[in-house]
Copies of this chain bind each other. A is one copy, B any other.
Amino acid sequence: MSETVSVEEFEKTLRKDRERITGRMAAILPPPEEPPETLHQAMRYSSLEGGKRLRGLLCLWSHRMFGDPHPSASLDAACALEFLHAYTLIHDDLPSLDNDDTRRGKPSCHIKFGVALSILAGDALQALAFETLSACPCPEPVNLITSVNILAAAAGSKMLVGGQAADLEGEGKTPREETVQFIHSRKTAELISASLAIGAALALGDSPSVSRLQDVGRDVGLAFQIVDDLLDEEGEEITVGKSLRKDLKRGKITWPACYGVKKSRENAGFLIGKSAARIRDFGDRGLLDRLFHLILDRAS
């Protein structure tokens, strides 16, 4: 790896690392025949198939900018981030929340397994995220504790869950800039920020580097959510893999509803440009740099 990578090299590594993350997740998750079987089947159904593994890749490739000193630790941390993300998707899709029947191109967890089991599968995936992260083979326990604390804070009521609650409460209200900023910076950006920061912390990166990557992650995460809003408004259902125009139907406060489509594209571009510039000091930044651009230009 190096400061720049070719498109071919990037795509090959993307495919390979996605498979590594998914393979490791499958090994960590309890097997489908372990009791309670349906619970474990629901956890596997909602976490193993069809994900982009964006958070996992950000963790792996952030770690790689520091010379990839503990690849097994960063791989397990990548799985922990994906387990946490999978739990949020299961709970977000529930009838009393976003009431979404489709996820990653298939029936949502509660359509397949029922509401009760989906609540439990989400709960267990959150616990599994912390179990996996706290057991990951990092030689420096202080950095491991830091990583657990970053993940827990990102997942909590001031961040991820807080953003989801504000998103729900905002439905049907007049879109205001400060509201959409509150929601987006919490419900999406903070876990993406944690992904970059944990990759760095497990590489024993110094505290200013971890903090800088945490900041960069907030910008990348915000750009990701702005593009998500744009895809919901302009995308093709078959490509994106989930129900679209849901934001409009539910009266969600979105970035384009506040700033318009043109300004939203400009904002996303600006955030990614700034982020790419802020990782210039790191050596092997080629993969991350291309991933940032993919977040901007993605079609799903």
Contact = CB atoms under 8 A, between A and B. Distances in A.
B131 A152 contact: yes
Contacts of A39: 157, 161-162, 165
A97 B117 CA distance: 9
Interface in A106-150: 114-117, 119-124, 126-128, 130-131, 134-135, 141-142, 144-145, 148-149
A258 B151 CA distance: 42
Contact of A134 (B120, B145, B182): B145
Contacts of A87: 123
Q: Report copies per complex.
A: 2
A40 B165 CA distance: 10
A121 B142 CA distance: 29
Given A96-B115, A119-B96, A149-B134, A156 B142 contact: no
A40 B157 contact: yes
A127 B152 contact: yes
A3 interface: no
Contacts of A168: 116-117, 120
A162 B124 contact: yes
A231 interface: no
Given A134-B145, A134-B152, A145-B141, A161 B115 contact: no
Main SS class of interface, A? helix
A177 B105 CA distance: 42
A91 B117 contact: no
Interface stretch (A7-15, A30-38, A56-64, A278-286): A30-38
A177 to B, nearest CB: 15
Nearest to A144: B145
A295 interface: no
Contacts of A36: 157, 162, 165-166, 169
Given A30-B158, A161-B39, A148 B169 contact: no
Interface string A163-197: 01110110000000000001000000000000000
A188 to B, nearest CB: 15
Contacts of A97: 116, 119-120
Contacts of A162: 35-36, 39, 124
A34 B149 CA distance: 21
8 contacts: A39-B157, A39-B165, A43-B157, A91-B120, A96-B114, A120-B161, A120-B164, A135-B149
Given A96-B114, A117-B165, A130-B130, 20 more contacts: A35-B182, A38-B165, A38-B169, A91-B123, A94-B116, A96-B116, A119-B119, A120-B157, A120-B165, A120-B168, A123-B123, A123-B126, A127-B157, A130-B151, A130-B152, A134-B149, A135-B149, A141-B145, A144-B145, A145-B148
